[in-house]
Amino acid sequence: FSLVRYIPKACFSSLLVLGAVDTFVVWFFLSFRKTQDLLEWLVVPFIVAFSLVVGFLNAVFLGVGISTFVFVASFFRVGGVKFNATGLEIRSTIERSMAISDWLDTHGDYIQVLVLQNYLFFGNASSILAYIGTMFDDIEADSNELSYDIPPIPKILIIDMSLNTGMDTSTVDIFAEIKELCKNNGCKLFLCGLSSRAKKGLSLAGVKPETGFKNKRNVRFFSDLDVALGTAEDLISSELYEKEKDTQPTNYSWLTPS
């Protein structure tokens, strides 16, 4: 530490003040803006206040105890994936031509749909991230040896959060990882049914609707699942159906009466 004495006191003090202010902003203001959950947010001010009375270490133990009760209370309303499906099982209410409808009946699994419910915390949010990661895994085994069809790598992932009651700070950061995972694998991320509180929290983690040409946006928000499904069907049919139609026309001989 002999070199520290050569640092001007004003610079060294400013660095300490900057670190203190940055920590205060991250843990005091931004943490509340991400979750909007007053009970969860009060744990940090509680630790700081009691550290002046009973000491820092004792205040940390008290904070851990309070966090445990908060977690148990949240656990009773904990959520996760209510159900998952593809564009083969569920479709939008938009009426389409017979050719496109027939094509979607075969290639609708380019759309993956996850419906989340109740409260999300680090545990179940991590499981959701791991499950989404499996959608982009390469199958090393010969597909002919499997007794079921392997779905293709999704082009669009729709996450419906209309049944979601809230999320903690770590979940917000996990959604940022989901966004990057989809982007790196050429998959678009559609979020629907978000509350205003959830939109504010996700925007702080960088998960917000992108601007520009609609077909080029990787992240988009929608009001409900039906609108998101209709947009996803439009995108994959315009991108993939037209290419397939030019190279290999679809056979509709089954429509001809015998």
- Is residue 18 predicted with pLDDT exceeding 70? yes
Q: What is the pTM of this model?
A: 0.66
Q: Which candidate, 215, 193, 191, places its Cα nearest to that of 205?
A: 191
Single-letter residue type at 199: K
Percent of residues, the chain, with pLDDT higher than 90: 21
Report yes or no: 219 and 179 within 8 Å, Cβ to Cβ.
Answer: yes
Residue 200 token pair:
């504010």
3-state secondary structure of 201: helix
Where does residue 206 fall: left (phi above 0), alpha (psi -120 to 50 degrees), or beta otherwise? left
- Is residue 250 predicted with pLDDT exceeding 70? no
Report yes or no: 76 and 56 within 8 Å, Cβ to Cβ.
Answer: no
Residue 138 token pair:
């390469």
Distance CA 86, CA 258 (A): 33
Q: Which candidate, 129, 128, 228, 122, places its Cα nearest to that of 181?
A: 129
CB-based burial, 22-34: b 16+ in 10 Å, e otherwise: eeeeebeeebbeb
- Is residue 149 predicted with pLDDT exceeding 90? no
